[in-house]
Structure 1
């Protein structure tokens, strides 16, 4: 025989229901989401607690671990909570217990912890077997009167015990301690508040049900975080209170100290809520090392048990306002997103400040009403017993005789009920009375107690009968809590002055920006370079590494917004102050940290957008002689990765750029010393992604060196400087206008002595020049030191360059407001090395 069991007989189903799988999935997901929302993630508007918080407190209450008992091992509390009420894992329960004990996490901690419960540095608490805990006194007010039928109870997870659906909550805990949580498809983030302010607002709402948000904000100034700090402005707070949602800017508290004769120190004493102190210090240090934060010499965390203290030492001569602004922008200010979402009758709802308080008041009315009814029932039961005792005392002899002659206790009770019309409870109490209670003194005490009980009954009944009196009880109890636990506000307000930009704090000054072929960049104050006579060697302007050389130097203001054009035909937008300021001898900072340049891409021209006027155009010239004009409005929205300024042939590069307005002449100069001048109208405006038209016919081996835009009657001169440091000035009027795409005229002789042309500029008599060599020598001189000459001349020595060096770039400093006559007479400075 086969050992297999016979097949079970087919049993037809009693009912078959056909369901679309998408409908079943949708409903199942909704059921799951609601179980998470209601059972785990969101607080109840009435007591401000999630189930796990409520269960921990109730477990401690049942264990008798109150603020008046000794501490108990956290593992014991966690075990009781998990075993009886919250079967979701001990670590999750312990993490919640820890949070309820951390003074930097909870405005009014509900647990009094003993041991290592973590720190603001993100350090975890010690294991639960090492720490101890008990209820904080304020937590007991949440459970007060829970045994007086004030709230509903439900069966626990295995129906062995019951647990409260909500706590009586003698104060509005949702607002006082706040709450945070992530549910399925929604989240809550309720900030903590000052207890006294919230209670005052609650009383205001009770007294004036028609009050609005502004009325309540007369009491609740705003969130009050356990870590203090400052809220920037009040408008966002008002919006959050009115709508239940908002974004608050929270800024650290700091002050500036003098710590040496000429040095300052920024000391941070309060941090935004939920900021990790150690991580903050680490991020600041990283930014200092990366050069994103300048003028900081030292950073220390000097915090102790008395509070936060982070000391930031500044370098000598540092601009304190700039450093403060950078710290605020990147480190010391956080956004707290208010989402006042809580469960109302088991449903999630975003609540305004008034709605939150109104739901709490409704809850307290229910709690006080149920407690009053419970106490009234007890008082009436006691009065009923006392009435029976008084009847017995009035007939003491007959009662004693009846009891003595009764066969047993039950017969005695029956006799008393029949003889004196007593209830079961009254007769039971009389039978159990001791003989000593029959004295006259005892009678007096019973009569006095009966009068007190009757007064209590009358009072309790009046509370139940009068809404006004019931609300008065609620207000009195709220005031008692405030008197016991109120403290000073920790979080202050600072005025929102709007977006503070770097331009607002950085002094406006002229600077020289130096760029190398390997994309190192820096800025230096123009005033760091005194004017010399022409022909000097200059001084060190940069520590150029081996194989690198200077490609561009240009003047700018620290407040300028610059368009940086590259040899690849791209354009980037840059704020001048973003370029790090460094000493003359410093190499500079890699430009890839500032601009997203490709390999081999270098800046060849810079335009200041502050100079833009309506109907102006950017005029560009390429190495192979192409010229194009593009309206300035096409350069309004520049991405961080740059945009195309000109379409270039594979062997071509963008050389120079100028701003024109349609009325100028264009002068294009070549490396071999040729120039051509023509009306810019010969070059129509075109889009960015175009090549342009031919501007000059180049001889073989020649290339464009630069571009100058000039007025027809311009009395400026054309300054031409060559690689070997020679140059000359020639009035622009000496260059006659021709048609575009001609060979042009001879401007300067580019023989072996001079070398090729490296730069051309339009200059005035009082201008200054900044000339920089490829190896980093820099020289400032007066234009007037370079004599006016005709075209087709050799020029004079502008800068004395050594044999293996060459002039890299020239820029013009417009007429200075003042000059130092002593410097004018000074001899040329030698190289400092």
Structure 2
């Protein structure tokens, strides 16, 4: 028996639809994940856990330049007061804020082992210590001056900030990544000085577009450097829509080692890639012989990254070697851009660069107004107190008499000198030692200064132009801290272009060059034997299958497969099965219709011309380069009706011999056949009925050669009787020509 349902307070059991209950609960979970975990706020660029860590450290007075505190103490306070989750969740978030290879501008200053670029974890929280950085101080600046709203913490015992004042463009400067429910965010780090320049331009030109801002923000600026090879148009499109990505490559240089030899030294690796995993991957590829141009990889890193790549030989092209590594390893990565943030702290939205900066500068203006109003209130209170002090100073003896003689001095003071409650309280709370300092001159001086400041604040609150001018001045001040001349502000990621090496050259560089022998069986099974094997008598085939085509080539070569449907298919020799078994059917590597058959397989040489012919006696010459296909579906070259292509042969020679099923042979000059890229071709031989049987291209001086069914070779040099014009009928072949009407 299962547990009975839990009754409600009044003892009745209320039935609830499962679908409705699940929807309600899942929606609550999804909203919680989006709002309180995964997406950063557009104004301060922080997620709740980071905001709570910074505020908790502020309460512990861990200011920059001050002392460090144990990370365990910080994590404990944050967990107990603000973030009721696992301590590892909080500690991991704090560690990331301290890593200079994760954060472009770290918010936590860590002491101890906070992990490294190799991917090693930080030491336990009981061993490490931390305090805030200057950047974090900027983000918190003004939090005690009513700059932002506060809300009750999770148990209602204290309060936490809803958002930070954010005097630093943290959202874009440090970036953010997160996965919520049904949405995600991915924002790369940027250069703070560039962001502030763009913000100043936006304040001066409220109608500016994202394109205008790209004059200042060139692209991401990753803490680990690297080279962005994305095109400017692609970058502009990504920032305009808030979605896109950036291709990021490692920075490398060629280091001469004497006598014409060299090594490649990688000094910066892409953002977010653990160095140890990268070296491991390169070493694995070396062992698998997938990097024939590379001899060795060494990690000589100390404080800085230094990966040494040794080429196989001194004549290896460094660009080509790196291009092959970029293709196969994380020396090139793509960082996605998906600027999905909480606008106003409430609405998830994908924003453009313009909208992101607009949210930040508007927030800065709001913070300025709130701090100004707070300061205005403080000044009014102080002026009121100073007025009371002045009265007390001018009537000191009377004030002392009232305090000494009256049972209730406060009402008496208020009645005697027409004081306010605040003034009377301030006079009563004065220390005796202050009396000697209460000189009229000092009081009036402070009163005048505060009155002047109050007047300035009132003018500021009344003028939007003044507000924006003040915000701009604050931003300009912040920019000085992160100017390009400073160590922290200098741009680390630069922009470049991908190498101009052809894809073929790069693919070839990924394959070890070795001789092989291609074997194709009658039933269309293909394999590649190691080395150039001349004697194939010992080769085994499946069942009643037997050898059909064989030729020598290399692992870096391409193969052309011609089928009866008039299509050419391209295969990489390096991807063919080895010679230990029976190979595998060619149809597994290409998308060949069931009705079509494979006519021939030949090595791609490049630069040759091929003669393709169809059954009804049509054909043309085609450049071998035009026959290369980019997909498994192949490339249609010869136009056919159904499946009636019969022949492909290299056009090496000056004459063409065609024989039909009617056993008529015709010889004519090769020059009479046109060269085309694709089509149905021209008539090679005319038939009353029947079709073409075979075609051959040969050199007239060598004569026409064929092999009969017994394996004997025949050559005829005098072909006068069979010579004619293209599209002729031809005559019966010479004595000894095979009965199967094939040249062999």
Q: Work out whether the TM-score is over 0.5.
A: yes
- Residue of structure 2 in register with 1:350 after alignment: 350
- Equivalent position to 1:425, from 422, 427, 445: 422
Q: CA deviation at 1:333?
A: 2.1
Q: Is the 8 A contact 1:604 1:655 kept in 2?
A: no
Q: Is the 8 A contact 1:596 1:640 kept in 2?
A: no
- Residue of structure 1 in register with 2:149 after alignment: 152
Q: Is the 8 A contact 2:240 2:352 kept in 1?
A: yes
- Residue of structure 2 in register with 1:606 after alignment: 602
Q: Deviations over 1:245-274 (max 9, x none)?
A: 112211221122322423332222112221
CA distance in 1, matches of 2:499, 2:17: 58
1:34 and 1:282, CA in 2 relative to 1: closer, same or farther beyond 3 A?
same
- Residue of structure 1 in register with 2:704 after alignment: 718
Matches within 5 A, 1:246-645: 246-331=244-329, 332-345=331-344, 346-407=346-407, 411-439=408-436, 442-486=439-483, 487-495=489-497, 500-503=502-505, 514-517=516-519, 519-520=527-528, 552-553=550-551, 562-564=559-561, 572-574=569-571, 605-606=601-602, 617=612, 639-640=631-632
Where does structure 1 lack aligned partners over 5 or more consecutive residues?
A: 1-7, 523-539, 581-585, 621-625, 647-653, 670-674, 687-692, 697-706, 750-757, 761-833
Q: Is the 8 A contact 2:324 2:507 kept in 1?
A: no
1:543 and 1:207, CA in 2 relative to 1: closer, same or farther beyond 3 A?
farther
Where does structure 2 lack aligned partners over 5 or more consecutive residues?
A: 1-6, 484-488, 520-525, 541-546, 591-596, 639-644, 674-678, 682-689
Q: CA deviation at 1:221?
A: 1.3
- Residue of structure 2 in register with 1:777 after alignment: none
- Residue of structure 1 in register with 2:642 after alignment: none
1:282 and 1:423, CA in 2 relative to 1: closer, same or farther beyond 3 A?
same
Q: CA deviation at 1:290?
A: 3.0
Q: Is the 8 A contact 2:560 2:569 kept in 1?
A: yes
CA distance in 2, matches of 1:290, 1:594: 25
2:658 is equivalent to residue 666 of structure 1: yes
1:597 and 1:478, CA in 2 relative to 1: closer, same or farther beyond 3 A?
closer
1:666 and 1:546, CA in 2 relative to 1: closer, same or farther beyond 3 A?
closer
Q: Is the 8 A contact 1:667 1:676 kept in 2?
A: yes
CA distance in 1, matches of 2:507, 2:290: 16
Matches within 5 A, 1:777-788: none
SS of corresponding position for 1:204: helix
Q: Is the 8 A contact 2:107 2:136 kept in 1?
A: yes
1:19 and 1:709, CA in 2 relative to 1: closer, same or farther beyond 3 A?
farther
- Residue of structure 2 in register with 1:623 after alignment: none
2:102 is equivalent to residue 116 of structure 1: no
CA distance in 2, matches of 1:158, 1:305: 45
Q: CA deviation at 1:739?
A: 12
Q: CA deviation at 1:318?
A: 1.9
CA distance in 1, matches of 2:192, 2:535: 63
1:742 and 1:382, CA in 2 relative to 1: closer, same or farther beyond 3 A?
same
Matched length: 678
1:739 and 1:440, CA in 2 relative to 1: closer, same or farther beyond 3 A?
closer
Q: Deviations over 1:429-451 (max 9, x none)?
A: 22233455444872222221112
SS of corresponding position for 1:519: strand
1:513 and 1:565, CA in 2 relative to 1: closer, same or farther beyond 3 A?
farther
Q: CA deviation at 1:719?
A: 4.9
Q: CA deviation at 1:339?
A: 0.5
CA distance in 1, matches of 2:537, 2:117: 48
- Equivalent position to 1:238, from 236, 239, 244: 236
Q: CA deviation at 1:320?
A: 3.0
Q: Is the 8 A contact 2:101 2:224 kept in 1?
A: yes
CA distance in 2, matches of 1:302, 1:677: 72
Q: CA deviation at 1:76?
A: 2.1
CA distance in 2, matches of 1:111, 1:65: 10
- Residue of structure 2 in register with 1:709 after alignment: 696
Q: Is the 8 A contact 1:720 1:729 kept in 2?
A: yes
Q: Is the 8 A contact 2:190 2:222 kept in 1?
A: yes
- Residue of structure 1 in register with 2:169 after alignment: 172
TM norm structure 2 = 0.77
Q: CA RMSD in A?
A: 5.1
Q: CA deviation at 1:708?
A: 4.5
1:438 and 1:29, CA in 2 relative to 1: closer, same or farther beyond 3 A?
closer
Q: CA deviation at 1:112?
A: 1.4
Moved more, 219-228 or 732-741: 732-741
Q: CA deviation at 1:473?
A: 2.3
- Residue of structure 1 in register with 2:26 after alignment: 29
1:725 and 1:97, CA in 2 relative to 1: closer, same or farther beyond 3 A?
farther
- Equivalent position to 2:53, from 41, 52, 56: 56
1:108 and 1:9, CA in 2 relative to 1: closer, same or farther beyond 3 A?
closer
2:648 is equivalent to residue 657 of structure 1: yes
SS of corresponding position for 2:55: helix
- Residue of structure 1 in register with 2:212 after alignment: 215
Q: Is the 8 A contact 2:614 2:646 kept in 1?
A: no
Q: Is the 8 A contact 1:695 1:740 kept in 2?
A: no
1:118 and 1:602, CA in 2 relative to 1: closer, same or farther beyond 3 A?
farther
SS of corresponding position for 2:265: strand
Q: CA deviation at 1:150?
A: 0.9
SS of corresponding position for 1:215: helix
SS of corresponding position for 2:200: helix
Q: CA deviation at 1:397?
A: 3.0
CA distance in 1, matches of 2:471, 2:126: 41
Q: CA deviation at 1:283?
A: 2.5
Q: Deviations over 1:183-207 (max 9, x none)?
A: 1111100111011111111111111
Q: Is the 8 A contact 1:595 1:640 kept in 2?
A: no
Q: CA deviation at 1:68?
A: 2.5
Q: Deviations over 1:310-359 (max 9, x none)?
A: 43433232233322322233333222211011001211011111111111
Q: Deviations over 1:733-783 (max 9, x none)?
A: 37848999999655699xxxxxxxx996xxxxxxxxxxxxxxxxxxxxxxx
Q: Deviations over 1:24-81 (max 9, x none)?
A: 5444433321111001110000100011111111111112222223322222222222
Q: CA deviation at 1:484?
A: 2.0
CA distance in 1, matches of 2:585, 2:317: 22
1:447 and 1:25, CA in 2 relative to 1: closer, same or farther beyond 3 A?
same
Q: Is the 8 A contact 1:148 1:374 kept in 2?
A: yes
The structure with more radius of gyration? 1
Q: Is the 8 A contact 1:264 1:320 kept in 2?
A: no
Q: CA deviation at 1:570?
A: 10
Moved more, 492-501 or 626-635: 626-635
Moved more, 86-95 or 714-723: 714-723
